[in-house]
Structure 1
């Protein structure tokens, strides 16, 4: 299940911010509390952290975009364990010595 990354509350009178700089790209692994993006308002620059560990699946607002407080700006998915097929070496079964007859 994907986790939404939202624009946090930035102050009483602040209703939107501008995406300043993404530090991660879709497909990148992220860890909980790692800084994902910087947002800028007329009063402050804020770093938004990853709410969970996983893979950055999607960025919904690019650099320079204006975003409202509470808006979803990215999604993080669970880091999947490699499949059994991905962990076996190709051709490993073929290189085993033949069984004695």
Structure 2
């Protein structure tokens, strides 16, 4: 199930923010409440966190873009974190 990550309400009379830095990249697993992007306004810096655990989708807004409150930043494929197969175990060295 896909979850939309949007620009949150940033405070009274603040309607836009700048995407300062992506902390996670598309395809990366994220935990619930883990910060994924930093937004800046002339008044405050805000980290936007994942609302659920999952895998981050494509970035709709790039670093340096100005975004409005409610704008889509990225999506999250909920429930897929940790779903990747474990790496194969190394064989024991032969004596």
**Fold in common (TM above 0.5):** yes
Structure with greater proportional strand content: 2
Report the RMSD for the aligned CA atoms in angstroms: 1.6
Q: Could you say which structure has the larger radius of gyration?
A: 1
SS in structure 1 at match of 2:56: strand
Deviations 1:10-54 (A, max 9, x none): 011000000000010000000110000100001011011111100
Aligned length: 85
Query: Are 1:63 and 2:55 an aligned pair?
Result: no
CA distance in 2, matches of 1:77, 1:10: 25
Residue 99 of structure 1 corresponds to none
Q: Deviation at 1:58?
A: 1.4
Matches within 5 A, 1:67-82: 67-78=67-78, 79=80, 81=83
TM-score, scaled to structure 1: 0.78
Structure 1: which 4+ aligned runs deviate by more than 2 Å?
A: none
Q: Deviation at 1:64?
A: 0.1
TM-score, scaled to structure 2: 0.83
Residue 37 of structure 2 corresponds to 37
- Name stretches of at least 5 consecutive residues in structure 2 with no aligned partner: 89-95
